[in-house]
Amino acid sequence: MTACSNPVNDVTKTEVTEKEPVQISEKVEELQATVKDSSTSSFVPASAPVNPLKISIPSINVEAEIHPYGMDDTGRMAVPEDPEEVGWYKYGTTPGSAGNAVLAGHVDSKVGPAVFFYLKDLKTGDKIHITNANGEELVFEVKDSQKYLPEDAPMNEIFGPTETKSLNLITCTGYFDRSVGHYEERLVVFTELISEI
**Domain presence at residue 4:** no
Is residue 33 domain-resident? Answer: yes
Q: Which of 4, 67, 106, 182 is catalytic?
A: 106
Does the pTM surpass 0.85? The reply is no
If one counts the domains in the chain, the total is 1
- Rounded to whole angstroms, the maximal C-alpha distance in the chain is 51
Catalytic member of 4, 67, 129, 172: 172
* Burial label, 27 (beta-carbon count in 10 A; 0-12, 13-18, 19+): middle
pLDDT tens digit sequence for 11-53: 333 333 344 455 444 445 544 444 444 333 333 344 457 899 9
Residue 17 forms part of a structural domain = yes
Residue 3 lies in a domain: no
Rounded CA separation 186/150 (Å): 7
- Is the predicted pLDDT of residue 6 greater than 80, yes or no? no
168, 103 Cβ separation under 8 angstroms: yes
4 is catalytic: no
Q: Which CATH number fits the domain that encloses residue 182?
A: 2.40.260.10
- Tell me if 174 is assigned to some domain: yes
- List, for residues 71-100, the tens digit of each pLDDT value: 998 888 998 999 999 999 999 999 999 999
Has residue 172 been placed in a domain?
Answer: yes
pLDDT the model gives residue 45:
41
* Rg value, the chain, Cα: 16
Secondary structure element (H or E) that encloses residue 53, with its range: strand 52-57
- Rounded distance between C-alpha atoms, residue 173 and residue 184, angstroms: 7
| Position 145 in a domain | yes
The parent domain of residue 62 ranges over: 11-37+50-196
Residue 65 lies in a domain: yes
Residue 197 reports pLDDT greater than 90: no
